Structure 1
Amino acid sequence: MRRPWLRGGPKTLSLKAQLYIWLLVPMLALIAASSWLAYASALEMAHTVFDRMLLGSARMIGESIGSEDGQLRAELPPAALENLQTGQSDRVYYRVDAPGEGLLAGASAFPRYEGALATEEWRSFDTHFHGEPLRVLAFAQPVYPFSPSSTVIIQVATTQQGQSALAWHIWLRSVWPQAMLLLAVAALGWFWVRIALAPVTRISAEVRQHRLESSELIAVDHAPPELRPLVRAINDYIARISQFVSERSRFISNAAHQLKTPITVLNTQLTVGLRSGESEQKQRALLGGYQSVQHCSRLIHQLLTLSSTEHALAPPMAPSPVRLVDLAREVLVDLAELAHHKGIDLGLVAGDVAPSVQGVPLLLRELIANLVDNAIRYTPEGGTVTVSLHNDEGGARLEVEDSGPGIPAHERERVFERFYRLAETSGQQGSGLGLSIVREIAMSCGAQVQLRDRPGGIDGLLVRVAFASSH
């Protein structure tokens, strides 16, 4: 069953209040149980005390019974009544019955005891008389000459106001120390809870004062053992936030630097075009401005793709089975004009069985587009770019092969870094983000990216993306 006050929500109690409640509630329950047991014990003790008083009065009445002229006579000694005085206005009843003779003395309306008692035996019990609860004691009193026929039954009874008052008095004397203890715990418990939660308050203050750009961690050794897992989790979160802030700052700085150059070039081209009076020069400036805008647009698109892939800024998309051949055909159609402009032979090689992988179609299409775009841009005019798809035992394999200059083996890991470009390609348009985006997308769908030489030692580059099986 859901407990909102424990799991959070609009009705959540503070941790201090919860600890205070869990401190008092069990103690209150124990004291309540102890009080109930104490009252039962006090009532039993009051029964015992009053039974002894009733027995004493019955014996006094029994000692006053004698035989005169062959008949039994019973008188009520004053001490027998005084023995039962409790100060609570209790009514006292008594009755003396002899076998074969009936009532000797006492209240005839009071019920006769019908049970069997041995000589000197007594029995106490509760009953009601005239609508009042009574405590009754029946006692078998022997009378000279001690024959069975000379045993009389003496009943002495009293109402229970005094007995109840005695039970309450005994109960209160046993309960009031527990009540005082509960009040002391309630008064001091709040301070105990505050002292116990002082480390939590301290950690909370440290987290609240922590600056976003700071990588300083909270001291684990100063925290109680129970809070150390929480402090470690907070420190891990601080480290991840610090890394994110650092990467974000570096990303923004690099993005601004990459955008500054084409925007400056665009501004120069537009300025030249506006100032020139020759239509041919205006046309060249307009064409150059168009190319700069295309470069900026592609750079911004790559920046957004990398940011959303790396930091999950976009809403998550559910992966599904994707046919790579369909995506590859779409990409080649889109880039066919760029390849045709450079006289590059752009081709697709797929086996009889089209490989299928598990992933997000939009991201996988971006992965293929970046690989093919890079290959076209860095392949000289008249070269070749081939996209091939293969089925492997463990999944599918996508390869993009070009006849460009290739990448030296010692640089193949660095080219996956953002904005990193080879020195020999600095004169060509590019942002250094293509392979970074490819690796991020590949990692998101469990694929691996490798850069290899072309088979046979031919100049160029082979990029292989190995996907796991979609089943």
Structure 2
Amino acid sequence: MRRSEPRLQRKLLAWLLGPLAILLVLDTAAAYWNSLRFANLAYDRALHEIGREIALHVKLDGARPRLELSEAAANILFVDQEDQIFYRVVGEDGTDLGGDAQLPEARVGKAGKPNFYGDTVRGEQVRMMVAWMPVGPDAGPPLVRVQVAESLNKRERLAWEMVANVVLPQLLLIIMATAVVWFGVSRGLEPLQRLRRAVSDRSHLDLSPIDIHDVPGEVRPLVDEVNELMARLERTFDFQNRFVADAAHQLKTPVSGLKAQIELALRETDLHRVRHSLAQLYISADRLSRLVRQLLSLARNEPGALDSMQLQPLDLNAHALEVSMEWVPQAIKRNIDLGFEGVDHPLMIDADQDRLRELVNNLIDNAIRYSQPGGRVTVQASRIDDAQCRLAISDDGLRIPVEERARIFERFHRLLGTQEDGSGLGLAIVSEIATLHGARITLEEDIDGVGNTFSVFFPLRAA
């Protein structure tokens, strides 16, 4: 069975009207108790008067009391249209003088003061009055014990009439309050209904902010968070669309080249030319593989990828040395002097090890790729102050003009006049990884005036 969804309107009505209903029940119980108490007070006086009338019919026969109650007098005292009345008269010595001998043993109070309490006679709930009363006009002995019991019909009827007079106006007031509260809650939730309709009527492509006009203050933080979420989604979709467009544009040329090389190889009959075509295919496939890796890296390091990062304490000095050692064979192959200058103490930062390796790899690859044979590339790790450290890669490549330095970190931007193959993505990847680490990257001329120096400034990890 499907569970009904929680609704704000239902909860508000329950919290507003529920306490009123509970108060009505408690008030009804209290009103009934008070009404029954007042009914007992009223009818107990009448019950006491009946007992006194019965005592007046007790006469002395010598020294012994005797009850002389005629049938006419009994009809006057005990005939009642709503309730049954029972009585019993007992002398001081315990002798029954008259009445119903089956009345339960009385709980006698002080002499001259009646005692009232609830009891049961023949299976029926009654109100009992017991009192010691004098025989004759004198207040002294002899005394007789008079018991009078009456069923509770009149008392309960009077009590419920009093309860109705008290509770019915309150019930009517609660019904009116329910209608007013229902109307007020419905009107109060109308802005939420308009907000729901505004969202449901939107296209899935519309990520513009929700209009917060006429939005209740309690809901505005939620709408602000939804708007912020939409802004993040819009940025993410923009990144994805841009990535798809860039990937389609960049992959079109190498794939077309591969197809052309394959078609050429298929037409060749000379084995030497076929081998040459296959060598060109290998070079093109290698370039395509590198481009695909860079495109995937670019997508992985888009702004907003912070949730997937694994930030851990890392020694920048040791990490940069380790990565630099991996590039020694490539540097030797190109006749490049690759060196490392570090410090004799750790440079601890919070970093994602894989992404930081990717950053250093791209910077060293870029430096080796664009340096002339016989040149040098220097990787340097140093401490700037107590708050930051620096990773610098210097090369002997062509000097990057000042006017180009602001664009060098843009995607697919390449300097004119360079003969090296490249996609223009390496430095864009470096820039985005640095941003994810809260670092900043700069580009200056090398200190010897030849080549360029890329510097990445990382915040040091707190001790």
Q: Aligned match of 1:304 in 292, 296, 299?
A: 296
Whether the 8 Å CA contact 2:254–2:288 is kept in 1: the answer is yes
Q: Residues 337 and 375 of structure 2 are in contact (CA less than 8 Å); yes or no, is this contact kept in structure 1?
A: yes
Find out whether 1:28 has 2:28 as its counterpart: no
1:371 CA displacement: 0.8
Residue 115 (structure 2) pairs with residue 115 (structure 1):
no
Q: Which runs of 5+ in 1 are unaligned?
A: 1-8
Q: Please report how far the alpha carbon of residue 257 of structure 1 lies from its aligned counterpart in structure 2 after TM superposition.
A: 1.9
Task: Summarize the Cα distance change of 1:205–1:91 in structure 2 as closer, same or farther, 3 Å threshold.
Answer: same
State the alpha-carbon separation in 1 of the partners of residues 383 and 288 from structure 2.
Answer: 37
Change in CA separation of 1:374 and 1:220 when aligned onto 2, cut-off 3 Å: same
Secondary structure, aligned partner of 1:156: strand
State the distance in 1 between where 2:73 and 2:218 align. 71
Aligned length: 459
Aligned-residue offset at 1:245: 1.8
User: Counterpart of 2:301 in 1: which secondary structure?
Assistant: helix
Matching residue of 1:56: 49
Give the partner amino acid of 1:370. Answer: N
Residue 13 of structure 1 aligns with which residue?
A: 6
Q: Is the 8 A contact 1:449 1:466 kept in 2?
A: no
Give SS of 2:218's match. Answer: helix
| Aligned counterpart in structure 2 of residue 420 of structure 1, from 392, 413, 416 | 413
1:334 is displaced (CA, Å) by 4.6
Cα gap change, 1:338 to 1:113, in 2 (>3 Å): closer
1:135 to partner: Cα distance: 1.3
Structure 1 residues 229 and 113: CA distance shift in structure 2, 3 A: closer
| Partner SS state of residue 263, structure 1 | helix
Cα distance change of structure 1 residues 409 and 188 upon mapping to structure 2, 3 Å threshold: same
Q: Which amino acid aligns with 1:403?
A: D
Given residue 223 of structure 1, which amino acid in structure 2 is its aligned partner? Answer: V
Match of 2:199 among 199, 202, 207: 207
Distance in 2 (alpha carbons) for counterparts of 1:313 and 1:72: 108
Distance 1:33 1:468 in 2: 67
d(CA) in 2 for partners of 1:30 and 1:127? 32
Relative distance call for 1:266 and 1:243 in structure 2 (3 A) is: same
The range that moved more, 233-242 or 179-188, is 179-188
Q: CA deviation at 1:94?
A: 1.9
- Number of the residue aligned with 2:390: 397
Deviation at 1:174, TM superposition (A): 4.7
CA 1:113–1:32 in structure 2 vs 1: closer, same or farther (change >3 Å)? Answer: closer
Change (3 A) 1:325 1:461: closer
How far apart, CA to CA, are the structure 2 residues paired with 1:228 and 1:85?
Answer: 75
- Alpha-carbon distance change, 254 to 405 in structure 1, aligned in 2, over 3 angstroms: same
The answer on 1:381 being equivalent to 2:373 is: yes
Map 1:220-235 to 2 at 5 A.
220-235=212-227
Query: TM-score normalized by structure 1?
Result: 0.81
1:160 and 1:107 map into 2 onto residues whose CA distance is 18
* TM superposition shift of 1:10: 7.2
Aligned: 1:462 with 2:454: yes
Q: 1:399 to 1:79 in 2, by over 3 A?
A: farther
Partner of 1:4: none
Structure 1 460/229 Cα, relative in aligned 2: closer, same or farther at 3 Å? closer
Secondary structure of 1:437's aligned partner? helix
Which of 413, 426, 450 aligns to 2:442? It is: 450
Equivalent residue letter for 1:368? V
Query: Does residue 1:246 correspond to 2:238, yes or no?
Result: yes
Partners in 1 of 2:81 and 2:180 — Cα distance? 41
Q: Distance in 2 between matches of 1:86 and 1:365?
A: 106
Checking the alignment, whether the CA contact within 8 Å between 1:323 and 1:355 is kept in structure 2 is yes
CA distance in 1, matches of 2:289, 2:306: 19
Counterpart contact for 1:46–1:166, Cα < 8 Å: yes
Is the 1:308–1:314 Cα contact (8 Å) retained in structure 2? no
Contact 1:395 1:470 in 2 (8 A): no
441-450 or 231-240, larger mean C-alpha shift: 441-450
The Cα of 1:410 is off from its aligned counterpart by: 4.4
2:374 and 2:74 mapped to 1: Cα distance? Answer: 134
Measured after TM superposition, the shift of residue 220 of structure 1 is 0.7
Q: CA deviation at 1:54?
A: 0.7
Q: Could you say what secondary structure the match of 1:115 adopts? A: coil
2: distance between equivalents of 1:214 and 1:337?
A: 52
Q: What CA distance in whole angstroms lies between the structure 2 residues aligned with 1:389 and 1:113?
A: 104
Partner of 2:421: 429
1:6 corresponds to which residue? Answer: none
For 1:343, which of 324, 335, 345 is the aligned residue? 335
Name which of structure 1's ranges 294-303 and 332-341 shifts more when overlaid on structure 2.
332-341
Deviation at 1:350, TM superposition (A): 2.8
1:372: Cα distance to partner?
0.7
**What is the deviation of 1:124?**
1.5
Sequence identity, in percent? 32
Relative to structure 1, is the Cα distance of residues 316 and 247 closer, same or farther in structure 2, using a 3 angstrom cutoff?
closer
Deviation at 1:231, TM superposition (A): 1.6
SS at match of 2:414: coil
**CA-atom RMSD, angstroms?**
3.8
Task: Tell me the distance in 2 between the aligned counterparts of 1:10 and 1:115.
Answer: 62
Give TM-score scaled by structure 2 length: 0.82
Q: Which moved more, 1:257-266 or 1:310-319?
A: 310-319
- The answer as to whether partners of 1:213 and 1:245 remain within 8 angstroms in 2 is no
Alignment-mate amino acid for residue 15 of structure 2: W
1:124-203 equivalences under 5 Å are 124-129=116-121, 132-139=124-131, 141=133, 145-149=137-141, 153-164=145-156, 166-168=158-160, 170-171=162-163, 174-175=166-167, 194-203=186-195
CA distance in 2, matches of 1:384, 1:101: 132
SS in 2 for 1:231: helix
User: What is the distance in 2 between the residues matched to 1:333 and 1:81?
Assistant: 125
Alpha-carbon shift at residue 27 of structure 1 (Å) = 3.3
CA distance in 2, matches of 1:190, 1:209: 27
Q: Give the match for residue 360 of structure 1.
A: 352
Higher alpha-carbon deviation: 453-462 or 215-224: 453-462
What are the superposed Cα offsets for residues 275-301 of structure 1, whole Å, 9 maximum, x if unpaired?
Answer: 456666555544443333222211211
Does the CA contact (< 8 Å) of 2:394 and 2:454 recur in 1?
Answer: yes
Moved more, 295-304 or 65-74: 65-74
Q: Is the 8 Å Cα contact of residues 220 and 231 (structure 1) preserved in structure 2?
A: yes
